[in-house]
Chains A and B, each alone.
Chain A
Amino acid sequence: MGDDLSSVDASVEDAALLARAREGDTTAFDDLITRHREKIYMHICYMVRNDEDALDLTQDTFIRAWRSLARFEGGASFSSWLYRIATNAAIDHCRKRKNRPQTEIELGPMKIDAASRTTPASPGVPGSGLDQREIKRRIEAAFAQLSPEHRAVIVLKEIEDCSYEEMARRIGCSLGTVMSRLFYARKKLQTLLGDLHDEI
């Protein structure tokens, strides 16, 4: 209930800032960026798995939103509309990157402490043959094999805990499409990670 109320308040504040931004008030738009930048960045970063690309795409999302402010009809919340722009930008980026050779998951630079010991920081799970880094590598590799559309539904549902309706709004497609994509995305991940359950 409290969350619902705060969400309504946030939408009302967004609407007021949006009205000013539409008149060309960049300060209002600056406030809108501040309110949404963190979530939009995280959402994109989950999808593209590269923090620098995610930063560029987050900026691109807000620039696109500014250019399309007049076309925003207000039927959905500003947040959902922003997510839709971000998701489309991330999907486009993943499609383009698919054509580039890619060997490693590109998340963040690996920081090595010169004074550190050579033993792994995160030891393996007792009684299992896989350490945490290997599990992470397997999960990243499986996720990288999903299509951009499937990545989007997995991130929205399993990481960000969205409802199906909110997912449909954020992706910009029907409820049936969302459920179908989610079904196949889960199925593919289960296939790719099935043996991981036995090994852990």
Chain B
Amino acid sequence: MKSDPNDPRWDKTRALLKEHLTVPPLAHPDFINSQVLEAIRRDGKPRAAAPLFSLRGLAWSGAGALAAAVVLSVVLLPHSLQPRSEGEFISQVIEARAEIPQLSVTSFHAPGDRGVVLWIEGSDFIPSEEAVR
């Protein structure tokens, strides 16, 4: 079934629609005005557009959040960036030795580095604290 607007059958259908799909004229046009005006007088002035999230509001919120993030970064980050003195560490590795004979433990200190590497050999797993002191 074609619905091409140039189809002669559709031309016939269109002509039938135009001829028979009619509507009565507006009988009392001023009635519409009076009804609408009565309703809008109850309403008052047209409502101003006040969307909950305006573009300007969202932009200010974003800028505020960014500023807060910058301030917090400046206040909190310097403590973690400065090198700590040895006294600040909770514990220090003085000597590493294994209680279990088949384990060998070696500690590597790197001067200037902020940590010690413990190298444990002879086990496929990390031994408990009692095994390595």
Contacts and interface: CB of A to CB of B under 8 A. Distances in A.
A191 to B, nearest CB: 6
B39 interface: yes
Interface in B43-95: 43-49
B106 to A, nearest CB: 72
A128 interface: no
Interface in A1-28: 21-22, 24, 26
Interface string A181-200: 00110110111011011000
Nearest to A22: B46
B13 to A, nearest CB: 6
A20 B35 CA distance: 20
A59 B29 CA distance: 11
Contact of A190 (B1, B18, B26, B39): B1
A143 B5 CA distance: 18
Nearest to A21: B46
A158 interface: yes
B3 interface: yes
At the interface, is chain B mostly helix, strand, loop or mixed? helix
A63 B41 CA distance: 10
Contacts of B46: 21-22, 24, 66-70
At the interface, is chain A mostly helix, strand, loop or mixed? helix
A139 interface: yes
A107 interface: yes
Nearest to B41: A26
Q: How large is the interface on B (under 10, 10 to 19, 20 to 34, 35 or more residues)?
A: 35 or more
A66 B46 CA distance: 6
B14 interface: yes
A161 B87 CA distance: 89
A140 interface: yes
A197 B33 contact: no
Nearest to A70: B49
A62 B32 contact: yes
30 contacts: A21-B46, A22-B46, A26-B37, A29-B37, A30-B33, A30-B37, A38-B26, A55-B31, A66-B43, A66-B46, A69-B46, A70-B47, A70-B48, A70-B49, A107-B23, A107-B24, A132-B20, A140-B20, A143-B21, A158-B14, A159-B17, A159-B18, A159-B21, A187-B3, A190-B2, A190-B3, A193-B16, A194-B1, A194-B9, A197-B9
Given A62-B36, A107-B24, A135-B20, 16 more contacts: A34-B33, A37-B32, A37-B33, A42-B26, A45-B24, A51-B24, A58-B32, A66-B46, A67-B47, A70-B46, A139-B20, A186-B13, A189-B13, A190-B9, A196-B16, A197-B12
List the 8 closest pairs (A to B, CB-CB), nearest first.
A186-B3, A24-B45, A69-B46, A45-B23, A70-B49, A187-B3, A136-B20, A62-B36
